[in-house]
């Protein structure tokens, strides 16, 4: 497992990669652009190349995250168009950054119903992926099921990937906090979750783990991250997750709340201890 954390890329990829080395991260995640906006971004290739050089030298794996405010299932034509343009651009940014994947949140059906939302999400994914033929995978992240969010279960995510025209361009990112809040796993049901991942073929396309504890209880369908061992999932369940033989090849990225990225250095030490 490559244990790492989310790092700010506000000062460029080179600085972010240096920070990853400084914190002792073996993997890290950055936003492709401002997470609350969709403003197009010019890629600074010189900076990107320097960042990639540092990552290569230290064997660090990078994952990118696309902005939150896109909606793959939106019924609105104009928002769909913006979503397509923005995520296609994110894939190119992620490629320049040398990332293995770009994480995207599943759509919200905003009252149109699950069936419509899923169909629309597949349609939007096709329109994005027909524009991109590079090595970066678009990673569907499971959701907590807040509001009208789609994509809570392993089976739903697999069905979406398989319904697109380009499944080979799609992978998965599994968020431990979202899955717990969506009632998909806890300490007792962890083996069942792994079994589901294997049987559905999900595990073959799993590219990244978001490793977070949850502030809110099992099945509460709210997305509230907590520091590892301080939340409702708890250190026993999270240790079990870390020790699973089937997940050892994956980057495991913390998105837990911190005031300062320096706190991640300690949290990563804690996780490595927990893993044993």
Q: Which residue has the tokens 């250190």?
A: 235
Residue 213 binds to Zn ion (criterion: CB under 5 A): no
Residue 149 binds to Zn ion (criterion: CB under 5 A): no
Q: Is 65 marked as a binding-site residue?
A: yes
Q: Cβ of 263: how many Cβ atoms within 10 Å? A: 16
Distance of closest approach, residue 106 Cβ to Zn ion, in angstroms: 12
Of 169 and 210, nearer to Zn ion (C-beta) is: 210
3-class DSSP state for residue 179? helix
- Binding-site size, Zn ion (CB under 5 A): 3
Select from 30-38, 73-81, 110-118, 220-228 the region that touches Zn ion (CB under 5 A): 220-228
Of 89 and 149, nearer to Zn ion (C-beta) is: 149
Residue 261 binds to Zn ion (criterion: CB under 5 A): no
Residue 90 binds to Zn ion (criterion: CB under 5 A): no
Binding Zn ion by CB under 5 A: which of 47, 90, 175, 232? 175
Q: Is 105 marked as a binding-site residue?
A: yes
Closest CA to 94 of 134, 131, 130, 60: 134
Distance of closest approach, residue 3 Cβ to Zn ion, in angstroms: 15
* Contact (Cβ atoms closer than 8 angstroms) between residue 171 and residue 64: no
Residue 223 binds to Zn ion (criterion: CB under 5 A): yes
Taking the C-alpha atoms of residue 227 and residue 220, their distance in angstroms, rounded to an integer, is: 18
Distance of closest approach, residue 134 Cβ to Zn ion, in angstroms: 23
Binding Zn ion by CB under 5 A: which of 108, 137, 161, 210? 210
DSSP letter for 63, please: E
Q: Is 141 marked as a binding-site residue?
A: yes
Taking the C-alpha atoms of residue 251 and residue 28, their distance in angstroms, rounded to an integer, is: 8
Closest CA to 221 of 273, 164, 143, 127: 143
Residue 65 binds to Zn ion (criterion: CB under 5 A): no
Contacts of 150 (CB under 8 A, 6+ apart): 73, 106, 107, 108, 109, 114, 117, 118, 121, 143, 156, 160
Would you tell me which residues interact with Zn ion (CB under 5 A)? 175, 210, 223
The annotated binding site is made up of: 65, 105, 141, 175, 178, 210, 223, 225, 255
């Amino acid at each position: 497992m490559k244990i790492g954390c989310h790092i700010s890329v506000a000062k460029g990829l080179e600085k972010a990669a240096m920070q990853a080395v400084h914190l002792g991260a073996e993997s890290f995640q950055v936003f492709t652009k401002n997470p609350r906006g969709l403003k197009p971004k010019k890629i600074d290739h010189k900076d990107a190349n320097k960042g990639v050089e540092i990552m290569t030298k230290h064997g660090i794996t990078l994952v990118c995250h696309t902005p939150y405010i896109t909606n793959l299932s939106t019924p609105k034509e104009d928002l769909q168009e913006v979503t397509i343009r923005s995520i296609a651009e994110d894939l190119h940014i992620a490629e320049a950054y040398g990332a293995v994947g770009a994480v995207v949140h599943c759509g919200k059906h905003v009252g149109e119903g699950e069936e419509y939302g899923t169909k629309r999400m597949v349609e939007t994914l096709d329109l994005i992926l027909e524009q991109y033929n590079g090595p970066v995978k678009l990673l569907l992240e499971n959701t907590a099921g807040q509001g009208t969010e789609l994509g809570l279960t392993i089976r739903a995510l697999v069905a979406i990937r398989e319904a697109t025209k380009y499944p080979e361009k799609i992978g998965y990112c599994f968020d431990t906090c979202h899955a717990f809040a969506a009632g998909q796993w806890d300490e007792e049901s962890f083996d069942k979750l792994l079994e589901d991942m294997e049987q559905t073929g999900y595990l073959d396309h799993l590219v990244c783990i978001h490793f977070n504890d949850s502030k809110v209880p099992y099945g509460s369908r709210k997305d509230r991250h907590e520091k590892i061992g301080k939340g409702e999932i708890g250190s026993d369940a999270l240790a079990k997750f870390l020790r699973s033989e089937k997940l050892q090849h994956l980057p495991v990225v913390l998105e837990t709340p911190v005031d300062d990225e320096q706190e991640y250095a300690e949290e990563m030490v804690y996780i490595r201890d927990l893993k044993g």
